[in-house]
């Protein structure tokens, strides 16, 4: 085993601290999205770093927010939402929707999607959902959505990525097509 593979002491089984958890899981890159909804009080939105597909049949996705997030509560109560996948040049929007103050929607243009939830301008993709369920998971709220519509922007812009505790971009020099083995399970 290489020295880099053993950097840092290993925690005893079952005794994982928050600092170690964040340090190690921070090495897993994630795309950044803004989840939006339209409520009777107007549009709401929040930046999330944990968004994933769950099922193809039925088409389900999930995102996670802090358990005490007023925005997450408003999204669940609205009953429908839009996941706006941010592009690498949308750091300003990421920061605005991660903020606890100010008019988050002043950072960008938007229009109502087919389900009424705001679709932010210039994103890479939009996934419109109905809230299927929500439930607490540790210190977060999981919101499961049934996908009702989706679209992707034209072009080849890259996603905004969160890695090692900061926003980052993919390195263009490594974005060459390399022959790979297909994931048969992905298309199944």
pLDDT tens per residue across span 52-66: 999 999 999 999 999
- Strands 118-120, 33-39: pairing is unpaired
Does 4 score more than 70 pLDDT? no
Q: Are 105 and 43 in contact (CB under 8 A)?
A: yes
Mean pLDDT is highest, among 10-24, 25-39, 114-128, for 114-128
Give me the chain's average pLDDT, please: 86
Q: State phi, psi for 37 to the nearest 5 degrees.
A: -150, 160
| Domain definitions of the chain by residue range | 30-162
Considering the entire predicted model, what is its pTM? 0.83
pLDDT band at 17 (very low <50, low <70, confident <90, very high): confident
Asked if the model's pLDDT at residue 7 lies above 60, the reply is no
In sign, the C-alpha dihedral spanning 35, 154, 61, 59 is: positive
In CATH terms, 30-162 corresponds, of 2.30.110.10, 3.40.50.970, 3.40.50.1820, 1.10.3720.10, to 2.30.110.10
Does the pLDDT of residue 127 top 90, yes or no? yes
Q: What is the 3-state secondary structure (H, E, C) of 5-22?
A: HHCCCCCCCCCCCHHHHH
- Confidence (pLDDT) at 100: 84
Tell me how crowded residue 119 is: count the other CB atoms within 10 A of its CB.
Answer: 18
């Amino acid at each position: 085993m290489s020295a880099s593979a053993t950097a840092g002491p290993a925690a005893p089984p079952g005794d994982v601290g928050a600092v170690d958890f964040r340090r190690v899981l921070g090495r897993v890159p994630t795309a950044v999205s803004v989840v939006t909804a339209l409520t009777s009080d107007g549009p709401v939105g929040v930046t999330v770093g944990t968004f994933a597909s769950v099922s193809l049949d039925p088409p389900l996705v999930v995102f996670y927010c802090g358990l005490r997030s007023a925005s997450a509560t408003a999204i669940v109560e609205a009953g429908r939402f839009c996941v706006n996948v941010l592009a690498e040049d949308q750091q300003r929007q990421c920061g605005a929707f991660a903020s606890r103050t100010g008019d988050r929607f002043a950072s960008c243009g938007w229009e109502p999607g087919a389900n009424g939830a705001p679709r932010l301008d210039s994103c890479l993709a939009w996934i419109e959902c109905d809230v299927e369920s929500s439930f607490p998971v540790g210190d977060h709220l999981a919101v499961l959505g049934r996908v009702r519509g989706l679209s992707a922007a034209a072009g080849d812009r890259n996603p905004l990525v969160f890695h090692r505790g900061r926003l980052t971009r993919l390195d263009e020099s490594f974005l060459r097509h390399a022959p790979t083995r297909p994931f048969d399970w992905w298309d199944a």
